[in-house]
Amino acid sequence: MSRLRGVILAVAVASVAGCGPAAPPPHPSYDPATRRLVRLDVDQNGDGRVDVRTYLDGNRPLRSEIDEAGSGRIDRWEYFDGAGQLARVGTSSTGDGIEDTWTHALTPDGERRVDLSTARDRRVDRREFYLGDDLIRAEDDVNGDGRPDKWETYESGVLRVVAFDTTYGAGRPDRRAVYDADGQFSHVEADLDGSGVFTRVESEGVR
C-alpha cells in the first residue's frame, strides 16, 4: 500500500505545485459518467514510459501493473482486497512478462502461501506454504482437475512426507512416502481401507 499511497499523494502535490521534467506528474483517468478515478499512470523514472499503472474504484485500488526493471514489460502485478489492502503479488518466474507465480499476504499466524502455474498458463497447479523463509508444506494438482492429489510436508526445510491420492479422484491421500530427519527415504505407508489410518507397506518403493 505504501507505493500506491505515495502515488496518490503525488497526484495531489502535482496538481498544486507541478513537477519537473525528470519527474512527470501522474496521469489520472476518470469515468466520464461518474467522474470517479479509475486509473492512475505513473512514470517513476522520467523515461517517458508508464511503469506503474493502477486501476481504482475512486480512491480504492483494485490492481496495479508495474515495470520494476524498466524494460517496458510488466514484471509485477499487485492485487488488492475489498478494503484496499495488498492481498497478493504476481510475478514472472523467468522475467518474460508471463505472470505465473502469486505470493499472498501473510495470514494472522504468519503463514504465507505461494501459488504457481508450472505450465505457465495461469492455472495454479502447485501451492507452497511458508513460515518465514522455511517451506513447511506443498500441494500439487498433478492431473489438472483443480484438486490437489500430491502433498509434501517439510520440517526445518527437510522433506519428511510425500503423500499421494493414487486414485486421482478421492481428494485425500492413500499412499505416502516417509523420509527421515536427513531427508533420506525410509519407507512407504498406505491407507488400505480408506479409514485415514496409514500402515507401513514393506513391498512398495518410492512412487
Helix, strand, coil in percent for the chain, rounding step 5: 10, 40, 50
Of 38, 7, 39, 2, give the one whose Cα is nearest residue 23. Answer: 7
Please give the pLDDT value at position 22: 62
Q: Name the average pLDDT for the chain.
A: 89
Please give the pLDDT value at position 45: 87
Residues of the chain whose pLDDT is less than 70?
1-23, 203-207
| CA angle in degrees (0–180, nearest 5) for 116-120-121 | 105
Residue ranges per structural domain of the chain: 1-97, 106-207
Please give the pLDDT value at position 203: 62
pTM over 0.85: no
Distance of CA 110 to the CA centre of its chain: 15
